[in-house]
Amino acid sequence: MLVADIMHTPVITASRTATIREALELLHRHRIRHLPIVDGEGRLFGIVTDRDLREAVPSRLAVDEALLARLAEPVETIVRREVITTHPGEFVEEAAQLMRQHKIGCLPVIADDAIVGIVTHSDLLSALITLLGVDAPSTRLEVEVPDRVGMIADLTAIFKQQGINIVSLFVYQSPEPGRRRAAIRARTMDPRRLIAAIRAAGFVVRWPKLPDDRPEGGKGPA
Amino acid sequence: MRPSEDAGARETRPLRPPSPEPPSSRSGRTDPPGPNVGAPEPGGKAAPGPDGPPPAPFSPKPWPRPIWPARPVGSGGRAVLIHHPDLIRYRFHDEHPFDQRRLLLVLDLLEALGLVAPEERLAPDPSAWDEEPLLRVHGARYVEAVKAAGRGGRAGTPPLIPGTAGEGTEMAGAGDAAVDEVEAEPHTAPAPFSADDLLDYGLGTEDVPIFPGMHEVAFLTVVGALTGARYIMDHPGHHAVFLGGGLHHAFPHKASGFCIYNDAAVAIRYLLDRYDVRVLYIDTDAHHGDGVQAIFYREPRVMTVSIHETGRYLFPGTGHVTERGEGPAFGTKVNVPLEPFTEDDDYLAILERVLVAAFERFRPDVVVSQHGVDAHRYDPLTHLALSTRAYRAIPRLIHTLADTYAGGRWLALGGGGYDLFRVVPRAWTFLWAEAAHRPLVDAEVPAVFLDRWQKKAPVPLPRRLLDPPFPPIPRRKAIREKNAVVLKRVLEFLR
Ligand SMILES: [Zn+2]
Ligand SMILES: [Zn+2]
C-alpha cells in the first residue's frame, strides 16, 4: 500500500502572503489542523498548525488594536520552514515511521516540487483498518507454517482446490523459531473441510477448532 | 427508492406514527383484520396487559396431514406457526450444512408434544404476493441471476435424511424440464448469466451452491416472513413464528452464508413501507446479522441488535461494537460480540441487559427476531457453547419485552442451526411453545419422535428438551472479563 493510495487530495493550502486571520479561517472552515503554505509557483514553502496559530494569537477578552494588527500580519511570519515530507510512491509503513520518529501529525506529499496530497494520523488508521479489517463476509483461519520457500504457495493451493476464495492474507512472525503464522480470511461460513485439508497437508491450524477438538467432543449431524 | 404504492394500497389501515407514550397506553389497538386472515378477535380481548389473561388450558389435538390450511380457522389462538411443505426444498447438497429438512424434525417434535392447534397453523401463499417487496431490498438483476441459476443449476442430489426424498425434493414448475439436460452439463447457466457472472452474485460458491428452483423456494421463504409481518399487524397483540425464515446473511446484490434472499430484511422493509412503524430487529444467531444490519444501516426507523460470537475468527467477521449505523441512523445499530465459550449464564445476563436498554431507548412498535440456534454447544460451526436452557430463556425474554413495549407485535423467524437432529428440534420447540403462550419448563422427548428419527441420526438423540449441565469450560475468568468490556461499551452507547 502506497502513500498515493491513502493521501488526502486536493490539499487546502494558503499562500505565504496570506494573513494570519485568513489562515485561521481556513483551518476553521475545513476543520483541519495542518495548513501547508505555498509560494507563488505552488511549491511548499512551509507549514502552520492550529497550535502555531493559537500561540501566535493569544486569546483575549477584548478585541484590541494589538490583536487586530497581529491578525493582519502575513502568515509567513510564523510559518515553520523545515517540513518533513513524503512522496506518493513511498510505502505507507515508511510514512508511519517518519511521523512517529519526528512526532508529527501530518506529512505533505510532494511530487515534482508541487504539493499533491497530505497524509495524517487518521489516514494511517484508515489504512490499518483496510489492511487488517474485514471488507467481505469471511472466516478467519490462523495457520502455522514452517519458515521455508513455497510454504505459503502450498497452503493457498489448498484453498484453490477447495474452491474457497481468499479475501485477505498476511504472514507474520511466530513466537516459535523457524515458523511463521498466516492469518487468512476465507469466503466461507463452513471452514471444516478446508481445515481438515490444511491439517492433512501437515500444517497446524491454530484456530478455529473443529468440533472433535472440543472438550465434550460434540459432533455435528453429518 | 420510494415506498411501494402498490403494497400501500392493500386494505389494512396504517398504524399511527410512533408516539412517545409509555408502553402501557400503547397496547390496546383495535385495527380491523386484513384481507388474508380469519375473523377478528372477539372485542376487548385484544387489549390485555403485558401477557394478557392466562391462556386457556390447551388440549392437544391430532396433527392432520396436510397440515397447513391457507387461512387460520377462526382466531382463537394468540400466535400462528407459519409453514409451507415446499420449504424443505431449500437445501443445497448432501455435504452442505444448511438443510431445511430440519423443519420436518421440528414439526414432528411439536406434533408429538401436541403443541400446535389447527387454528394456529398458517400457510404462506406465494401466488398472493408479487415481487415488489422482494425488489425493495434486492436488485432486480440479482433476482434475475437467482432465477437463471435455479433454471440451469445442477439436478437434485440424494437426500441427507433417508426417506425424506420422494414427494418433496424435486421442484414443481420451473426447473422440471431442465433437470435432464443439466445432468449432462452441471455447472452452466443459460445466457445472459455466465458461471462467472453468477459467482459475482455469490451464486455457485461453496456456501451458496446452485440448485434447481432456488428462486422459487427462496421466494417462498420471503413470502413466509411477509405473511408473518402482515399477520402481526392485522392482529394486534398476536405473535407469528416462521421457522423457515431468518436468512440474515443475504445482501441486496449478493448471496452469502447459505442465504439467498434476506427474508427478515424484506419483511422489515414491508413494515416500514406499509405501516411506517419503528422496528426492533433482534438477532441471536451465533453469527453476526450482517445482511440485515447493512440493509438498514442508514435507516433510523430500524434498530438492529445482534448478539453473536466475535468475528475475530468466525464468519462473517463483522459485528464489532463500533458498527453503530450511519447518518440519521447513527446509534440504532447495536452489536454485542462475545467470546467463544461464553456459555448460558453470561450470555443470558448480557442479552437481558442489552435488550432492556434497547427497548427502553428505541421504543419499537414492532419486534422482529431471528432465532438462529447455532450457538449451541453441539453446533459444528461455532463456539459459544450454549445449551437448550438458553433457547428456552431467549424467546421468553423477547416475548416479555415485545408484549410490554411493542403491544405484542412480534414476528419470530428461524435462522442458523446445523445440528439438525439434537439441537434444532428441541430449541425451536421451546420458541414456539413460548410464542403460543404455552411455555415449557422441560419435557421428555416423546418416544414416537425418537423411534422415527434415532435410526436416521448419526448421534444419540437427547431424551429431554433441556440439556443436562455440561462440564464447565476452563478460562472462564478471562472470557468473562472480555465480555464485560463489550457489555459496558454497548450499554454506554444505549444510554
Ligand atoms: Zn404474548
Ligand atoms: Zn448462524
pLDDT at position A61, please?
A: 60
Residue/partner pairs of B349-353 with CB below 8 Å, 24 or more apart:
B350/B307, B350/B483, B350/B486, B350/B487, B351/B284, B351/B307, B351/B394, B351/B397, B352/B397, B353/B487, B353/B491
Residue A212, domain member (yes or no): no
For B435-473, write each residue's pLDDT tens digit.
999 999 999 999 999 999 999 999 999 999 999 999 888
Segments of chain A scoring below 70 in pLDDT: 59-62, 211-222
Residue A122 and residue A170 in one domain:
no
Report the CATH number that the domain containing residue A175 is assigned in CATH: 3.30.70.260
CB contact under 8 A, B312 and A140: yes
Residue A121 and residue A28 in one domain:
yes
More confident residue, B161 or B378: B378
B206, B290, B380 ranked by CB distance to A220: nearest: B380
DSSP secondary-structure letter at B139? -
User: DSSP readout, A15-69?
Assistant: ETTSBHHHHHHHHHHHT-SEEEEE-TTSBEEEEEEHHHHHHHS---SS--HHHHH
pLDDT at position B71, please?
A: 35
Residue A155 and residue A198 in one domain:
yes
Instruction: Tell me the angle at which helices A65-72 and A20-30 cross, rounded to the nearest 10 degrees.
Output: 80
Dist. CA B390–CA B206, nearest whole Å: 31
Total domain count, chain B: 1
Q: How many CB atoms lie within 10 A of CB B193?
A: 24
Report the CATH number that the domain containing residue A25 is assigned in CATH: 3.10.580.10
Span B23-40, average pLDDT: 36
Give the three cell numbers for residue B132: 415488489
Give the three cell numbers for residue A162: 477447495
Report the CATH number that the domain containing residue B477 is assigned in CATH: 3.40.800.20
Residue A152 domain boundaries: 133-207
Residue B405, domain member (yes or no): yes
Residue A61, domain member (yes or no): yes
Burial class (CB in 10 A: 0-12, 13-18, 19+), B492: exposed
Residue A62 and residue A109 in one domain:
yes
Residue B436 domain boundaries: 79-125+211-494
Looking at residue B450, its amino acid is L
Which has the minimum average pLDDT: B38-42, B93-97, B354-358?
Answer: B38-42
Dist. CA B234–CA B29, nearest whole Å: 10
For chain A, report the end-to-end CA distance as a whole number of angstroms: 43
| Distance, CA of B373 to chain centre | 10
pLDDT at position B300, please?
A: 97
Neighbouring residues of the ion ligand 2, judged by CB less than 5 Å: B 285-287, 372, 374, 416
pLDDT at position B430, please?
A: 98
Nearest CA in chain B to A184: B313
Residue A142, domain member (yes or no): yes
Instruction: Please check the confidence at residue B252 and state whether its pLDDT lies above 70.
Output: yes
Residue B234, domain member (yes or no): yes
Residue B97, domain member (yes or no): yes
Confidence of residue B481 (pLDDT cuts 50, 70, 90): very high
More confident residue, B252 or B30: B252
Helix, strand, coil % in chain B, rounded to nearest 5: 35, 10, 55
pLDDT at position A213, please?
A: 63
CB contact under 8 A, A189 and B381: yes
Helix (H), strand (E), coil (C) string for B10-69: CCCCCCCCCCCCCHHHHCCCCCCCCCCCCCCCCCCCCCCCCCCCCCCCCCCCCCCCCCCC
Place of cell 508529527: A104
More confident residue, B57 or B192: B192
CB contact under 8 A, B315 and A162: no
Residue B471, domain member (yes or no): yes
ipTM greater than 0.90: no
Last residue of a domain, one of A128, A147, A172: A128
More confident residue, B459 or B77: B459
Measured in Å, residue B285 CA sits from the centre of ligand 2 at 5
pLDDT at position B483, please?
A: 96
Residue B206, domain member (yes or no): no
Give the three cell numbers for residue A129: 483498518
Residue B153, domain member (yes or no): no
pLDDT at position B197, please?
A: 93
Residue A124 and residue A89 in one domain:
yes
Residue A99 and residue A192 in one domain:
no
DSSP secondary-structure letter at B156? P
Dist. CA B245–CA B371, nearest whole Å: 9
Residue A221, domain member (yes or no): no
pLDDT at position B184, please?
A: 40
Span B284-294, average pLDDT: 98
Residue B37, domain member (yes or no): no
Residue B431, chain A, CB below 8 Å: the answer is no
Residue A46 and residue A26 in one domain:
yes
For B318-344, write each residue's pLDDT tens digit.
999 999 999 999 999 999 999 999 999
Helix (H), strand (E), coil (C) string for B302-315: EEEEEEEECCCCCC
Q: Are B365 and B408 in contact (CB under 8 A)?
A: no
Residue B133, domain member (yes or no): no
Residue A13 and residue A82 in one domain:
yes
What's the predicted TM-score (pTM) here?
A: 0.78
Beta bridge partners of B281: B304, B368
A138, A164, A207 ranked by CB distance to B316: nearest: A138
Give chain A positions within 8 Å (CB) of B471. Answer: 215-216
Residue A10 and residue A113 in one domain:
yes
Q: pLDDT exceeding 70 applies to what percent of chain B?
A: 77
Residue A149, domain member (yes or no): yes
At residue A135, the 3 state secondary structure works out as: coil
pLDDT at position B473, please?
A: 83
Total domain count, chain A: 2
Instruction: Please check the confidence at residue B269 and state whether its pLDDT lies above 60.
Output: yes
CB contact under 8 A, A215 and B471: yes
B313, B380, B421 ranked by CB distance to A192: nearest: B380
Confidence of residue B51 (pLDDT cuts 50, 70, 90): very low
Which 135-194 residues of chain A touch chain B by CB within 8 A? 137-142, 162-165, 185, 187-190, 192-193
Residue A124 and residue A140 in one domain:
no
CB contact under 8 A, B459 and A185: no
Residue A44 and residue A149 in one domain:
no
B249 is catalytic: yes
pLDDT at position B39, please?
A: 34
Residue A162 and residue A149 in one domain:
yes
Burial class (CB in 10 A: 0-12, 13-18, 19+), B44: exposed
Catalytic residue, candidates B84, B235, B248, B249 = B249
